[in-house]
Amino acid sequence: MIKLQLHITIALLCAGALFGNYEGRDEIPQIKEAIKKELLLHPDATLVDLYKFFHQEAFGPGHMIDDPASALAYLMAELRTATAFDSLLWQEVGYKKAYFRINLKLVQEGVIPVDTLVQYFILSANRAQPIPVASWKERWHIVSVAVEEMALGLADYERDKEILEKVLKSDDVSVHHSATYRASYHPHYRVVDRESFQQLLGTLDD
């Protein structure tokens, strides 16, 4: 399964380089395609989960990490409490092909050494260039237009819209996965940038 996903992902990476980088409404077709793929993989995802899906692309793994020991300890603590994992071993987030989720199942099963994943996670976080919050709000507006046009019938849609309206008015515009998503897919992963992901793929192919 790992080998199959590896070859499929390499093909998608090559195809992704052909996508243009247009701003505003011109990006809606690409946004819609990314949403379709996400809902095909995670049909129980709600609007909050779609928000997180695109937010991770805009902001990457988070703030700069200057304490590798803490990053390692936090990952190990998560592994000790994780009882199930998503079946998807890795996944690109958003539509700009910049960041990927790496399933911690690969660490638990010894496919990726824990130190290696922490190394690339920290590297990705430290070289990330998150977009300004104002730009993120503009991007999310375009994404929400695409969602409205698709008429997806997402569960708890109106409730999630209210939640996100409050989030976007706060200082912290990040969110957690919905309870529905966590129950269905058990998300345990780390986000790494495209370069780190490709290097990790190289270790899997060895």
User: What is the three-class DSSP state of 206?
Assistant: coil
Give me the residue spans of the domains in the chain: 2-205
Q: What 8-state DSSP symbol labels residue 158?
A: H
If you search the block for the tokens 């809902």, which residue do you land on? 39
Predicted confidence (pLDDT) per residue in 33-77, tens digit? 999 999 999 999 999 999 999 999 999 997 768 789 999 999 999
- 203 against 122, higher pLDDT: 122
Reported residue count of the chain is: 206
Residue 91 pLDDT > 90 = yes
User: What is the three-class DSSP state of 168?
Assistant: coil
Nearest-angstrom CA–CA distance, 138 and 132: 10
Which residue in 107, 133, 80 sits closest to 190, CA to CA?
107
Nearest-angstrom CA–CA distance, 191 and 147: 24
Note whether 190 and 121 are within 8 A (CB). Answer: yes
Those residues with Cβ within 8 angstroms of residue 139's Cβ, 6 or more apart along the chain or in another chain: 54, 58, 131
Predicted confidence (pLDDT) per residue in 6-39, tens digit? 555 544 444 443 333 335 678 999 999 999 999 9
Q: What pLDDT is stored for residue 41 in this prediction?
A: 98
Q: Output the pTM of the full model.
A: 0.86
Q: What pLDDT is stored for residue 196 in this prediction?
A: 96
